[in-house]
Chain A
Amino acid sequence: MSNIPAELKYVASHEWLRLEADGSVTVGITEHAQELLGDIVFVELPKVGANLAAEEQAGVVESVKAASDVYAPIAGEVLEVNAELEAAPELANSEPYAAGWFFKIKPANAADLDSLLDAAGYAKEIGA
């Protein structure tokens, strides 16, 4: 059974979001997503400073098995990307909710988070 931390928000395309103390939002892919992908060998991250619309493509994750797009779960400006993940993409497998984060975004509208799935909603979404 996949780990779905209660304190995070989720979208159906398998990204998670964490609201940080400074108002920024950290984004990654869920444990369920990395299980589906298998061993991850490359990630492509968005450019810092890019303004992304909700559901806009923000990057690519490539596993041995498949390539999959990563989407911006909410609109906002990319503040930071995880350079460590680019160098060690397997972090998205081993620590999807910690060292395997993808990018940080400054939400265009902080209230956008409220409408996203909570852990129970995501668990239902993936049939967990």
Chain B
Amino acid sequence: MTAPKRTPLFDAHVAAGAKMVDFAGWEMPIHYGSQLKEHEIVRSDAGMFDVSHMTVIDISGSDAKAWLQQLIANDVAKLPFEGKALYSGMLTEDGTVVDDLIVYLTSYGYRMVVNAGTTDKDLAWMDSHKAGFDVSLNVRRDLAMLAVQGPNAIAKVCAVKPQLADAIQSLKVFQGLPAGDWFFARTGYTGEDGLEIMIPAGEASNFFNELVAAGVAPIGLGARDTLRLEAGMNLYGHDMDETVSPLQAGMGWTIAWEPASRDFIGRKALEAQKAAGVPMKQVGLVLEGRGVLREGQKVVVEGVGEGIITSGTFSPTLKHSIAIARVPAATGADAQVDLRGTLTAVRVVKMPFVRNGKKVFE
């Protein structure tokens, strides 16, 4: 067994009182005292997450665009200007999900961010699909990454980086900009406004401490999970993986079907799935009574069939349980969940559950 890896912010987390746990081979903060309080800080003010365990890959070469157009299901041709971001799945030939990722258009080509736990297989997958393309990959282990999220996140980052305030404030949603060796993007995984910031590793701790001084609270992975779940966002390895089609995981919107001539990996399988009829769909579940919906619990839809909860939690914002589930396509507004042996009625809703601090489902 190899020792867990540490991000450049490890010492800063310990100094801030973090409880550290092993996450995908990395020693990461799960919380700094109370996960619920941290969740509420991100919904009402500003918090920051160390996401340096995720992997930044810079892609260059004369075939970078053509290579990405066959590698991922969304189409980088949709990126109209430098800094613009695109969310996509990277699929197997069978039309299941190798990983989900973000890709930015840059001056030298593209910058991609992939999940920590999937990094090794992602890189192996990319390498095995490079033949015939003039493309080179540069894995940026020299960068740390901080997500600063919440209604006051951008203002507080600007207070720390006044020389960049105008540029940061000009960013539209899902858009990034380089600033020297740094990169600021108005993206996130919480359903709040905010930034994801890539930082040279040696400058990360200092920036972290400046943000603490500016009133940005460190937030652990625990709250990151409840925040993304309220926002209705998938977590790789839970809501989808190499056994699940993006069409059954709420990722249909990330597949660029046009132009029909773009033969991305997994396209034929997805077309066959669509022609045959997709049997399952992703929905949100709401339990307004007592109890907590959890990953792996069985969903029973009377007269229709069965499904499964892929992520579930107590929603700190809503004060009741919510879940993401994969259920039969014919599922209507009602379902039941096997809650520790008791079939319990739940409501089936359209996600997200929470956006910008507010409940959004009916």
Determine whether B291 belongs to the interface, using a CB cutoff of 8 Å to chain A: yes
Instruction: Specify which chain A residues have a CB less than 8 angstroms from the CB of B35 in the assembled complex.
Output: 38-39, 64-65
Decide if A62 touches B292 in the complex (CB within 8 Å). Answer: yes
In the complex, number of A-B residue pairs with CB atoms less than 8 Å apart: 34
Decide if B222 touches A38 in the complex (CB within 8 Å). Answer: yes
In the assembled complex, the Cα of A62 lies from the Cα of B314 at a distance in Å of: 9
Decide if A42 touches B36 in the complex (CB within 8 Å). Answer: no
Instruction: Specify which chain A residues have a CB less than 8 angstroms from the CB of B292 in the assembled complex.
Output: 41-42, 62, 64, 67
Q: In this complex, what residue of B is CB-closest to A60?
A: B340
A53-78 vs B, Cβ < 8 Å mask (1 yes, 0 no): 00000001010111100000000000
Determine whether B294 belongs to the interface, using a CB cutoff of 8 Å to chain A: yes
Give the size range of A's interface with the partner. Answer: 10 to 19
B273-312 vs A, Cβ < 8 Å mask (1 yes, 0 no): 0000000000000000011101000000000000000000
Chain B nearest CB: distance from A59 CB in Å?
A: 12
Q: Could you say which of A64, A67, A93 has the most chain B C-beta atoms within 10 Å of its C-beta? A: A64
B188-226 vs A, Cβ < 8 Å mask (1 yes, 0 no): 000000000000000000000000000000000010001
Decide if B291 touches A64 in the complex (CB within 8 Å). Answer: no
Decide if A41 touches B222 in the complex (CB within 8 Å). Answer: no
Determine whether B243 belongs to the interface, using a CB cutoff of 8 Å to chain A: no
Instruction: Specify which chain B residues have a CB less than 8 angstroms from the CB of A41 in the assembled complex.
Output: 36, 292, 314
Q: In this complex, what residue of B is CB-closest to A86?
A: B290
Determine whether B31 belongs to the interface, using a CB cutoff of 8 Å to chain A: yes
Decide if B313 touches A64 in the complex (CB within 8 Å). Answer: yes
Instruction: Specify which chain A residues have a CB less than 8 angstroms from the CB of B34 in the assembled complex.
Output: 39, 93
Determine whether A80 belongs to the interface, using a CB cutoff of 8 Å to chain B: no
In the assembled complex, the Cα of A93 lies from the Cα of B309 at a distance in Å of: 27
Decide if B31 touches A38 in the complex (CB within 8 Å). Answer: yes
In the assembled complex, the Cα of A98 lies from the Cα of B34 at a distance in Å of: 20
In the assembled complex, the Cα of A38 lies from the Cα of B34 at a distance in Å of: 7
Q: In this complex, what residue of B is CB-closest to A38?
A: B35
Instruction: Specify which chain B residues have a CB less than 8 angstroms from the CB of A38 in the assembled complex.
Output: 31, 35, 222
In the assembled complex, the Cα of A38 lies from the Cα of B291 at a distance in Å of: 16
In the assembled complex, the Cα of A41 lies from the Cα of B340 at a distance in Å of: 16
In the assembled complex, the Cα of A67 lies from the Cα of B296 at a distance in Å of: 13
B32-62 vs A, Cβ < 8 Å mask (1 yes, 0 no): 0011100000000000000000000000000
B258-279 vs A, Cβ < 8 Å mask (1 yes, 0 no): 0000000000000000000000
Instruction: Specify which chain A residues have a CB less than 8 angstroms from the CB of B313 in the assembled complex.
Output: 64
Q: In this complex, what residue of A is CB-closest to B290?
A: A42
Q: Can you add 6 more A-B contacts, CB < 8 Å, to A41-B292, A64-B292?
A: A41-B314, A42-B290, A62-B292, A62-B314, A65-B222, A67-B340
Interface residues in chain B, defined as those with a beta carbon under 8 Å from any beta carbon in chain A: 31, 34-36, 222, 226, 290-292, 294, 313-314, 316, 340
